[in-house]
Amino acid sequence: MPRWASRITLEILNVRVERVQEISRADCVREGLRPTMRNDYEQDIRVRFRNLWDSINASKYPWSLNPWVWVVEFKRVEDK
């Protein structure tokens, strides 16, 4: 697609492969989850990510199988 026709432009910063259960607390936040004010902050946000993962992917790639996933880090490029 020509750049003029796209709504957003993304610049890929990093690509790696990892097991889904290796997701960090910071990566959960980057995925869009917001931390709660509970004492078990790290566990809570990862449990919520696990629940979200299974709500989307459980039929083919459940959390319990710990599938390999592509992690693509990117940033939005603003128009000049």
Which 8-state DSSP code applies to residue 66? -
The average pLDDT across 8-21 equals 96
Give the pLDDT confidence score for residue 43 in this predicted structure.
65
How many percent of the chain have pLDDT more than 70? 90
Burial of 49 (0-12, 13-18, 19+ CB in 10 A): buried
Tens-digit pLDDT profile for residues 47-78: 999 999 999 999 999 999 999 999 999 999 98
> Considering the entire predicted model, what is its pTM?
0.79
Q: How does the average pLDDT of the chain come out, rounded?
A: 90
The average pLDDT across 1-20 equals 92
